[in-house]
Structure formats: C-alpha cells, structure tokens
C-alpha cells in the first residue's frame, strides 16, 4: 500500500503531542495544598489502613467513647436554655404544682427545659442516662483490660490515663448532678461541704473557695457550671485523644490464635470495615440511650422541689457511681479524736477523703506492681484469659468484692425497709463483709482459675469428653475422649509458661549480703505466691506422648469393637499385646 492511500484517521493523536494531566478539581487543589503544608496525605494513607482485631469485648471501650459523644451532643442542647444562676425568682411556668414558688433561676430553667422546651425533658434524660452509661462502660472496660493483662508493657501509661478518666468522669457526673439545684442535689452539695470541712487545717478554706463564702452562697452553681461544661470536658477530651493516639501507636491487643503473634495484628482495616462497624455501633448506643431516656424516668427534679438549706430529703441517695463511698460512710463507726485542740473526724475522713484516693492509687499501680513482682520487662500484645493469671484475676475479684460490699452498704436503710430487718444488724454484717468478703473471694477465685487451668491441660492432652462410656475387659469403665481441634489446642497452649522470679545471689563473693536483699526476698516470696500453684501448659513432648497414648487406646478400642485399626472386621476373638479381647466383653 502506498503512502498516499494511508488512512490518517487511524493515527493516534497522542503520537504527535505529549500526554498532559487532566486539570485538577477544586477539591483536589485544596487537598494538595493542605498535604504540601501539613503532610496529612502520608499520615492518613498509613492510618486509614491500620488493622484492628475483632472481638466483642473490644466494644466495651467504644460504649464509653460513644456515650461521651452523646453527652457532648445533648449537653450542647441543654446549655441553650439552662441558666446557671442562683438568683431568686418566682416560677410561672407550665408545671402547675410549682407555680408561684420562690426558687433559684437554675432550678426554674431546669423546670422550663423539662416542661416548656420541645424535647427538653427527653434531652435531659438522655443526657443523664448517657452519664451513667459513660462511667459504667469505663469501669467495665477497665475490668476487661485488667482481667486480660492488657495493661502490661507498653500500655501502662494508657492504663493510668484510663484511671484518671474514671476519676474525672465521676467528678463531672457530680457537678452535673448538682446543677438543677433541687432538694436532692442540694443535699449532695451540702454533704460535699461537710466532707471538705472535715479536712484538717485546710477544710474551711476549701469550702470558702468553692462556695465563695459560707454555704451555700451564690457562686457554687455558676462555678460548677463552668467546671461541668468547660474545664472538665476539655481535660476529658484531651485525655481521650491521648488515649486513642496511644492505642494506635501501640497497636491494639488481640486474643491468641493461629497466625497471631506479638509482632502482628490480625483483623480488619480502619477503612472501610472497622469505620463502618464503629459508626453502626454508635447509632446502636445512641438508640439504646434514647429509648432509655424516653421510657425510663431519671432524676424527676419537679418532685423534689427547690433546694432549701433548712430541709433535707429523706432516703436521699446519690447516683450509683457515688454509692460505694456513701456506703463506707454509713457503716464506719463514729471514730473521732482531738489533737492539739482540733477535732479529727475519722468517720468522715477515712471513707471520703482517704479511701477513694487510696483505691485510685491501687488501681494505677497494678501494672507496675505486677511487673516488679514478675520481673517481666517484655512487650505484650497478646491477651491472657483470666484463668491464665489466677493471682491477678483473684486480686481484681477481691477489689470488685470490696467495691460491691460498700456499694450495697450505701442502701442499708432501703435493704432494712424492704427486707424488714434491723438496720443495725445489716450495718454490722456489712462491716464484717468489708474485710472478709475480699479475702474469701480471692481464695475462691484463685482456686477456681487453677482448676480451670488443670481442665484445659487435660483437654489438650486427652481431648474432650464425649459422654460415651466404655467397659474394659477387666470390667472397668472409662469415658471416651476425642481430640480437640488444632485451632482450639493452639489457643489453649499459646500462653507462656510462668517462671517464679528468684534473686541471683543474696551475697557477694566475700559473703557480704548484697544491697536490697530484704526487698529481693519479699519479691521472690510474692512471685512464688503468684505463680507457685499455677498449672503450666503442656510442652510439645507431653502433647506428642499423649497423642501416642491416644493412638494406642484407639487400637485397643478398635479391637474391642471387633475391628482393626484400618477398619477390617475381626473374627470372634483378637489378641492385642498378649490380651485376648472378646466382642462379647
């Protein structure tokens, strides 16, 4: 074919001119501008594909997170109508029983929110239920972290942040509970004033600072309001952000299983899977909280009336998370002493000013004490089942029992009324249980965990019980066992063997006691008590020996069933290892 007859329409236009990029969109220009200055693209590309493991227990922390988001959303709505003022006004709103009553502007605005603002009562109740759920979810989440050993290195700092979040959440709940200025919340504020004044030397100064003078003053509600909507939420937001950043930096813990090690994470990426699941879970939490707010009445302040320092609410009790110090206050004896002319109210100081900070310090120090006792300085990214650490689990159950007994003691009067019992007898019973309950719970829990460890070991070595009873030629009976799955066996044997810590030498080359000998002896004794009774997972040699024994039993059983190991039928009798076994036997 000649050049003159060549079809130029079939020649690609790109051969003549260089390829040029399409003109970027406006959104692309903005994104490129931000990425060049902030480096967001590289960071987002890495973190949006970050893998998170999947397990239902990991959702407990998300309940706390989404409850806090609900608190922010509903709290923003409530601030539009709430008036944080203690100025005296006359109520002229829609709630007829209170019309014409003198009250503070804060209480009047709470009634206005409840009866005159469309959706106001629903928002108030959602806000209050979310606060209760927020603290409860944090507490349960921390229990999950402690029981599974997720607070071990490198997550000790995140555990400390979680403990501080629990404390701040409790204080935030108390300040919000006090804002309506009704008779019930005012009674709580009056109790808080008494607690502060029980502090030696500085108590009266603390009270004057908080209340702006003598109780109740006119400044406490505005000050609580600032702390409730600005100061404490700001700190909570900062700590939650730090908590989440450390979670991403350390990577999430995961349960042991095939393919899961300390050096990897098996799960789903942030986008699109985990983000979709977390977003859906937010709507579930919000929906449940909204249903609770719509159907379950909480804190009906219109029934209590405005706060009056000359009155007190009979049977008044705080929100549930303040119940355990209230219980300690109720059952402690009336211990008081006079030192240099000053009255020391131990019956107030111990349950309110000493016990809560002491419990908080015990929680904060748990991972550090465990690390010191065990001498374990390795990083841990695999979780432990509670039974795999009997002493740790028993300590946590003992703390829970101590907390539960004091929490129940906070309702000693209600228990006495409902069960028609003597309140004195109930108080004495709670005093005894406060000390004996944790000890009994510790002993029972530790022995229970060790028995479960022994059961797991037997299951790995000999399989699970089938319920099929076999009779031997000698007339003995035994139950047939079948081997567990490889995945289950891996999970049961993935935990590390416990090692009791012992000092290298208590004396140097010259026979002189080494420094810290007494401390090392204490540490060795604690380590022995912590691990001495634990049942260790079987070794590879023990598992192979058990499997060999199981194969031998299978051959014997095949003979009893009248079949060979390969499934062939025997005739009448068959000799196995010198024994004559009959099918009739």
pLDDT of residue 579: 40
| pTM: predicted TM-score of the whole model, two decimal places | 0.84
Comparing CA positions, the residue from 476, 539, 501, 274 lying closest to residue 374 is 501
Q: For every one of its 585 residues, what pLDDT tens digit does the chain have, with 9 covering 90 and above?
A: 444 444 444 454 555 555 566 677 777 788 778 777 777 666 677 677 788 898 899 999 999 999 999 999 999 999 999 999 999 999 999 999 999 999 999 999 999 999 999 999 999 999 999 999 999 999 999 999 999 999 999 999 999 999 999 999 999 999 999 999 999 999 999 999 999 999 888 888 999 999 988 888 889 999 999 999 999 999 999 999 999 999 988 888 999 888 888 888 888 888 888 889 999 999 999 999 999 999 999 999 999 999 988 887 667 888 899 999 999 999 999 998 888 878 889 999 999 999 999 999 999 999 999 999 988 888 999 999 999 999 999 999 999 999 999 999 999 999 999 999 999 999 999 999 999 999 999 999 999 999 999 999 888 888 888 888 878 778 888 777 788 888 888 888 888 888 888 777 666 566 666 666 778 888 888 888 888 888 888 888 887 777 666 666 666 566 555 554 444 444 444 333 334 333 333
pLDDT of residue 31: 75
| Residues 364/159, Cβ–Cβ less than 8 Å | yes
Comparing CA positions, the residue from 484, 482, 457 lying closest to residue 542 is 457
Residue 401, Cα to own-chain centre: how many angstroms? 16
Q: Please give the torsion angle defined by the CA atoms of residues 126, 132, 138 and 143, in that order, rounded to the nearest 10 degrees.
A: -140
pLDDT of residue 275: 87
Count CB-CB contacts under 10 A for residue 268: 15
List pLDDT tens digits, range 186-214. 999 999 999 999 988 888 899 999 998 88
Residue found by looking up tokens 């994104």 in the block: 31
Query: 355 vs 102, 326, 351, 436, 580, CA distance in Å?
Result: 39, 11, 5, 17, 73
Element spanning 88, H or E: strand 88-90
Q: What share of the chain is helix, strand, coil (3-state, %, to 5)?
A: 60, 10, 30
pLDDT of residue 567: 46
pLDDT of residue 467: 81
pLDDT of residue 519: 83
Q: Tell me whether strands 268-269 and 336-339 are parallel, antiparallel or unpaired.
A: unpaired
CA 304 – CA 129 distance, rounded (Å): 19
Angle at CA of residue 438, ends 435 and 439, nearest 5°: 85
**What is the b/e burial string over 181-211, where b = at least 16 CB atoms within 10 angstroms of the residue's CB?**
bbbbbbbbbbbbbebbbbbeeebeeebeebb
Pick left, alpha or beta for residue 17 (phi over 0 → left; psi -120 to 50 → alpha; otherwise beta): beta
């Amino acid at each position: 074919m000649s050049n003159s007859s060549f079809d130029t329409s079939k020649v690609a236009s790109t051969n003549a001119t260089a390829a040029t990029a399409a003109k970027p969109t406006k959104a692309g220009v903005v994104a490129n501008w931000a990425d060049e200055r902030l480096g967001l693209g590289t960071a987002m590309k890495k973190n949006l594909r970050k893998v998170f493991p999947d397990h239902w227990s990991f959702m407990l922390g998300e309940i706390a997170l989404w409850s806090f988001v609900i608190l922010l959303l509903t709290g923003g709505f409530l601030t539009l109508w709430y008036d944080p003022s203690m100025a005296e006004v006359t109520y002229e709103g829609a709630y007829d029983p209170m019309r014409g009553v003198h009250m503070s502007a804060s209480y009047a605005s709470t009634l206005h929110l409840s009866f005159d603002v469309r959706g106001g009562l629903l928002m108030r109740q959602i806000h209050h239920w979310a606060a209760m759920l927020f603290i409860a979810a944090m507490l349960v989440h921390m229990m999950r972290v402690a029981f599974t050993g997720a607070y071990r290195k490198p997550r000790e700092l995140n555990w400390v942040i979680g403990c501080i979040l629990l404390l701040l959440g409790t204080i935030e709940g108390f300040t919000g509970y006090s804002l309506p200025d009704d008779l019930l919340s005012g009674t709580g504020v009056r109790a808080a004033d008494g607690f502060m004044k029980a502090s030696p030397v500085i108590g009266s100064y603390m009270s004057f600072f908080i209340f702006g003078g003598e109780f109740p003053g006119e400044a406490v509600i505005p000050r609580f309001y600032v702390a409730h909507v600005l100061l404490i939420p700001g700190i909570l937001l900062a700590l939650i952000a730090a908590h989440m950043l450390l979670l991403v930096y350390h990577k999430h813990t995961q349960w042991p299983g095939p393919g899961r090690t300390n050096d990897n994470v098996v799960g789903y990426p942030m986008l699109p899977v985990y983000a979709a699941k977390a977003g859906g879970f937010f709507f579930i939490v919000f929906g449940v909280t909204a249903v609770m707010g719509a159907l379950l009445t909480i804190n009906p302040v219109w029934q209590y009336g405005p706060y009056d320092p000359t009155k007190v609410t009979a049977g008044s009790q705080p929100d549930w998370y303040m119940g355990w110090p209230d219980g300690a206050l109720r059952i402690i004896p009336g211990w008081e002493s006079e030192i240099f002319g000053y009255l020391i109210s131990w019956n107030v100081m111990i349950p309110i000013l000493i016990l809560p900070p002491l419990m908080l310090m015990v929680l904060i120090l748990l991972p550090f004490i465990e690390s010191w006792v065990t001498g374990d300085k390795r990083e841990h990214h695999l979780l432990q089942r509670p039974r795999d650490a009997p002493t740790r689990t028993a300590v946590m159950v003992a703390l829970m029992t101590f907390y539960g007994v004091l929490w129940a003691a906070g309702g000693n009067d209600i228990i006495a009324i409902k069960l028609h019992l003597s309140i004195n007898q109930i108080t004495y019973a709670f005093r005894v249980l406060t000390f004996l309950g944790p000890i009994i719970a510790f002993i029972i829990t530790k022995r229970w965990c060790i028995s479960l460890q022994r059961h797991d070991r037997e299951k790995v070595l000999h399989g699970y019980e089938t319920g099929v009873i076999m009779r031997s030629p000698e007339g003995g009976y035994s139950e047939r066992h079948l081997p567990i799955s490889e995945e289950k066996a891996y999970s049961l044997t993935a935990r590390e063997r416990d090692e009791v810590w012992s000092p290298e030498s208590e004396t140097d080359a010259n026979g002189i006691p080494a420094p810290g000998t007494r401390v090392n002896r204490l540490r060795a004794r604690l380590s022995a008590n912590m691990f001495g009774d634990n049942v260790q997972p079987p070794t590879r040699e023990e598992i192979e020996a058990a499997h060999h024994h199981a194969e031998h039993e299978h051959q014997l059983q095949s003979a009893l069933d009248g079949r060979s190991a390969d499934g062939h039928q025997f005739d009448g009798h068959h000799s196995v290892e010198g024994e004559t076994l009959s099918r009739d036997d």
